[in-house]
Amino acid sequence: EIEAMATTNVFVLLALVVVATGEATKPHILLVVMDDLGWQDVSFHNGTDFQTPNMDRFAKTGTILENYYVQEVCSPTRSALMTGRYPFSTGLQHWTTIMPGSPSHLPFDSPTIAELLKEQGYSTHMIGKWHLGSSNWSHTPTARGFDSYVGYMQGQIDYYNKTVANNFDFWNGRDVFYQHNDSYTYLPYMQELERVVTEANGSTPLFVYMAHQLVHIPLEQPVGAQFMDRCKHIENAGRRLYCAMTLCLDDAIGDTIALFEKHGLYNDTLVIYTTDNGGMPHFQENFPASYGSNYPFRAGKTSLYEGGVRGVAFVNGGSNVFPEGARGRVNSDLWHAVDWYSTIATAAGAAIPPLVQNSSHDLAPTLFHAAPGPRKEVPINLAADGDQLSAIRVGDWKLIRGKAVTLYDGWFPLPPAPREPPPVHVGQYRLFNLKDDPTEHHDLHFQNEAKVKELEERLAFYESIYVPPQPNKPVCKAINGVWAPCVG
């Protein structure tokens, strides 16, 4: 039986906000996802070619997570955030992500974090990218716990005309939202956030899931010359445009906190920032390459190397919920995206569902009081076929298993420096000591067969909760030029 991984104690400094009346109330929670943001795309990781002042400020006055893991692509990580369960245990581990018209969706046998918080009296709102099922209305955000939703349900859209594969995909709840079909998505997102925050009832706890489109492809210039002006020192045209989009994201993050402050909510708000996967580097000239940077880590998005799964993450919050002792810290304990579910649920005073206890830790004691981290390992992926790779980190050691061909490999310094090619690989194993070799240059599986066997046994430990990937072949076509659910 899988050991339960979520603690049951309610952590008073996190879970309770003491208001002027002396009564205790639940904190507001803001979960911010930054799409495809790479390790070196934030200046607080030292070495990027542009500055991200808002992310730097919130990271450095909060807690930065240095050993935080996500999945290699977006749908699996988003499913982990919403369910608190490893994607390989829900059938949502597709490295191709959920395709338009696919029947894949979040499972119904345990609540999403929005459904759980709604049971605790929260007002729940989502803005941005869903990408967790949309062939049936029962799979969509307002059917999975959110009171309101503005955004798109597929993996990407044009930032201006809101289309993907020549069909429209922008929604306000269940209504097609044409009002903003010519404005950069940052603008309608911020307008919706202002509506949510302005209408917030101070006595009702608020949960906002802000899933930014930035900086996912297609690479498109934000409105206003100021972003490109701040990036004009970058010679490479693609990286310069990527810089402008990242700075637009950075401004959005600053504007979001300013809104919470303006309406008197921030002091009682816990804010979690996470990427969904590593950045997509410029590994080729055409789709799906971009100009993200994970250097010095190996590879990037779609890969189980550190560049694909070591995520950018930091936590901050207002004075009533974020202890002063947690400010200015760098946390090096192991984390996985599933852990936010239990950490948030405990903050809200909710019990952890049984199926979530198999995967998600409440890491508030580690985060806020420097208690030793409970995680000793992170199962990154478990695959039972040749289409995907398995991977696990145990302590300082990481094993990647399988013969599936990766989309690309190597190390990608900032342009104009060329790609650094990987060594020739032999066999189905790759073993790395991340303490000595965090950039995964030296495969040790031939020299340390005992360690390979040890980590193989840990992978086998998770086979009891393995679920094959859900069907991902489209069952819906666009309806009248719109990617709308075709069932239910």
Buried b (16+ CB within 10 A) or exposed e, 447-470: eeeebbeebeebbeebeebebebb
Name the DSSP letter for residue 444: -
- Check if 131 is active-site: yes
> Cβ of 247: how many Cβ atoms within 10 Å?
24
Pairing of strands 175-176, 171-172: antiparallel
Alpha carbon 223 to its chain centroid, in Å, reads: 25
Residue written as tokens 């997570």?
A: 65
CA distances for 56 relative to 247, 297, 414, angstroms: 12, 20, 20
Structure tokens, 451: 């360690």
Residue written as tokens 């199962």?
A: 379
Query: Which one from 28, 45, 74, 212 is the annotated catalytic residue?
Result: 74
> Cβ of 10: how many Cβ atoms within 10 Å?
15
Task: Let me know the angle formed at the C-alpha of 97 by 288 and 452, rounded to the nearest 5 degrees.
Answer: 95
- 484: amino acid identity, one letter: A
Residue written as tokens 């369910």?
A: 83
Rounded Cα–Cα distance for residues 83 and 196 (Å): 23
Using an 8 Å Cβ cutoff, are 283 and 419 in contact? yes
Taking each helix axis as running N to C, give the angle between helix 186-198 and helix 237-262, from 0 to 180 degrees, rounded to the nearest 10. Answer: 10
Alpha helices in 333-435 (DSSP H): 339-347, 354-357, 364-369
- 71: amino acid identity, one letter: Q
Query: Which one from 28, 45, 105, 131 is the annotated catalytic residue?
Result: 131
- Check if 74 is active-site: yes
Pairing of strands 206-211, 28-34: parallel
Alpha carbon 411 to its chain centroid, in Å, reads: 22
Dihedral angle sign, alpha carbons of residues 142, 252, 245, 182: positive
Name the DSSP letter for residue 310: B
Q: What residues are labeled active site?
A: 74, 131
